[in-house]
A and B are shown apart, each in its own frame.
Chain A
C-alpha cells in the first residue's frame, strides 16, 4: 500500500477550535467582571446557569462518555450541601466549607463505587436512585438537619447580601471553569478513549488491555465531586437546606434533559443544553405545570427528530469542533 510512507499527521486542534477556545476564554474573562456592573437579578440568574452547566458537564462525562447512566446523581448534590453545613457548624470558614464539602461528598463515591459499579445498565441507573434515597434518609437522621424541616447555612449571613451574591457568582464561575477544564483535559487524554471504549463494549475494552473498573471509577468519582460542588453552590445561593429539595430526583431529570437535548457524548452539547434549559426556565418557569409539560414535550421532540442532540446535529452538519476531544488522521487525499 505504501512504498514510501509519508508521515501522516494526526489533527486534534483546528484553526476553528483554537478560535473558539480563545473566544470562550475571552467570554470567561468578561463574565468574571460582570458582577461589577450587572444587576443583582442578572448575577443571581447567571450563578444558577453556571450550576446547571456544571451538572450537565458532569452527567455527560458519566453517561455520555463513561456509559454510566445514573438517575441518582442528586445523592452527591445533596451530600455536598449537607457536608458543607456540617463543616460550617464545626467551625470551618464558610467558603472553604463549600469546597471541602464537595470534595468530602465526592470521596463517598470511592467506597460506593465498589458495589455500584458492579451493577450494569439499568440496574446501575436504578441502584443510584436507591443510593440517593438512602443518602436522603441518613442525612435526615442527623439532628442538626431537623428532618424535612431542614436548616440554613447561617454562617453566610455574616456577609452582606451584595457581597454574598458576588462571591457566590465568582465561586460558581470558577467551579464551572475548573469542572469544564478538568473534564476536557481528562477526556482528551488517554482516559478519554479508554472510557469511551468501556462505554461501547466492556468486554472488547478489557481484551485490548483497558482496566474497565478503574476507568469507570475515575469518571464516577469525578462526576460525584462535580455534582456535589453544584450542590454546595446551590446551598450558597439559597442558604436553606431542605433535604427533599436537594435529594430530589428532579435534578437527575434536569441533567438528563440538558445532556440529551444538547447532545450526549459531545463535549459542547450539554453546555448548550444547559443554556437552553436555563432559557426555557427563565421564560416559562413561572407558568408552573405548563413549563414542565413544555420540558417533556421538548425532550420528546428532540429524541424523535434530533436523537444526537442539538450539538450532535450541528457537528455532523457543519463538521464543527469547538472543543475537540477526538482524533482526526489527515489522509493524503485530503490535502
Chain B
C-alpha cells in the first residue's frame, strides 16, 4: 500500500509540528545535536537509525517528556517548548513508549479511559465510545477487562497505541510498536496505521523494521549520533550513502 498522502510539492504550508535547533545533553553526554525536524498536517514520517542514535530522545522532546537543552518546539505555530507532556497531550500530541508503560493495576479498558477522559476531554458515553473505538482499532476489545499487568509484551505495545489513540490526537508519535510481530500481525498493524492516516492523524513512527515502515510513510528521516543525516523520499533516503554507512558502521541489529 503505497500512500499518496505526500505533502503537495512547492506549497510551503506551515508545519503542524516543528523542532528547530534541538540539542539534548545528559550531563556531559550529547544525545541530540542541532536537530531540525518538521511534520506537516496529516503527514506520516518514519524515523530510522542505529541504536543509540537519539530517536527516542527526539520523540521525548517532541512529546514534552523533558525540555531540550537548546532549541524550540512549535505546534500549530505556537511555541510549546516549555509546555509539559500533559499540556501537549491536551493540545493534541500523543505518544507511545518504546518500553511499554501500562497502568498495571487497572484494566485495559480503564487504561484507555483515563486517556480519553483527561487527554481527550471526553465525558460519559462519549468517553466510553472513544475507548471502544480505540480498542477495536488495536484489536484489543476482547481484552478490555483484563488487568494490564497480566498482558504479554505484544499486547502491552498494542495498549500503548490504544491509549495514545484514546486521547484523540492530531499528532501521534510512535516508538517501535512493530517489533516482534509475525507477518500477519505486521499486516494488521499496517492496516491500523492506514486507518489512522485516513482519519487525518499526522504520524511520526520510529521503527527498525523498514519494510513495514515504508508501507505507510510519506517521508523517511535517518538519524545517527544525535543528528539527522538524511531526510526525504523513503527510497532515496535508504539509498543515501551516509545512511548505508551509518548502518554498516553502527550497531545494526
B-binding residues in A (CB < 8 A): 1-2, 5, 8, 10, 190, 193-194, 196-197, 199-201, 203-212, 265, 326-329, 331, 333
Contact = CB atoms under 8 A, between A and B. Distances in A.
A247 B141 CA distance: 50
Contacts of B199: none
Given A209-B86, A210-B86, A200 B110 contact: no
A190 B118 contact: yes
Nearest to B164: A208
A204 B103 contact: yes
Interface stretch (B93-101, B218-226, B239-247): B93-101
Nearest to A209: B119
Given A196-B103, A209-B118, A327 B141 contact: no
- Top 9 nearest A-B pairs (CB, nearest first) are A209-B119, A204-B101, A200-B103, A209-B89, A208-B115, A209-B118, A329-B144, A206-B85, A193-B114
Interface in B121-176: 128, 132, 136, 139, 141-142, 144-145, 148, 163-164, 166-167
Given A200-B106, A208-B119, A327-B107, 6 more contacts: A10-B109, A197-B106, A200-B102, A210-B114, A210-B119, A211-B118
B111 to A, nearest CB: 8
18 contacts: A1-B141, A193-B117, A196-B106, A196-B110, A197-B114, A203-B101, A204-B101, A205-B103, A208-B114, A208-B163, A209-B86, A210-B119, A265-B105, A327-B109, A328-B145, A329-B109, A331-B142, A331-B144
A259 to B, nearest CB: 15
A269 to B, nearest CB: 13
A208 to B, nearest CB: 4
Nearest to A202: B101
Given A208-B115, A208-B167, A209-B115, A193 B106 contact: yes
B63 interface: yes
A209 B105 contact: no
Contacts of B113: 193, 327
B181 interface: no
A207 B141 CA distance: 22
B22 to A, nearest CB: 19
Given A326-B110, A328-B145, A329-B144, A201 B103 contact: yes
A326 B118 CA distance: 17
Contacts of B79: none
B77 interface: no
Contact of A207 (B65, B105, B110, B111): B65
B118 A207 contact: no
A334 to B, nearest CB: 9
Nearest to B131: A329
Contacts, number: 110
Nearest to B125: A10
Contacts of A10: 109, 128
A289 B203 CA distance: 64
Contacts of A208: 89, 94, 114-115, 118-119, 163-164, 166-167
Nearest to A215: B118
A196 B86 contact: no
A130 to B, nearest CB: 28
Contacts of B107: 326-328
B102 A207 contact: no
Contacts of A197: 103, 106, 111, 114
Contacts of A212: 86
B94 A200 contact: no
A329 B142 CA distance: 9
A2 B132 CA distance: 11
A203 to B, nearest CB: 6
B183 to A, nearest CB: 19
Contacts of A194: 114, 117-118
A328 B108 CA distance: 10
B244 to A, nearest CB: 34
B74 interface: no
A200 B120 CA distance: 20
Nearest to B139: A1
B153 to A, nearest CB: 16
B132 A329 contact: yes
Q: Which of A206, A331, A333 has the most CB of B within 10 A?
A: A206
A226 B45 CA distance: 51
Nearest to B109: A329
A1 B97 CA distance: 26
A200 B105 contact: yes
A209 B104 CA distance: 18
A326 B147 CA distance: 11
A320 to B, nearest CB: 15
B197 interface: no
A194 B128 CA distance: 15
Nearest to B96: A207
Nearest to B132: A8
Contacts of A210: 86, 114, 118-119
Contacts of B89: 206-209
Contacts of A2: 136
Contacts of A329: 109, 132, 141, 144-145
Contacts of B63: 207
A267 to B, nearest CB: 13
B136 A1 contact: yes
Contacts of A327: 107, 109-110, 113
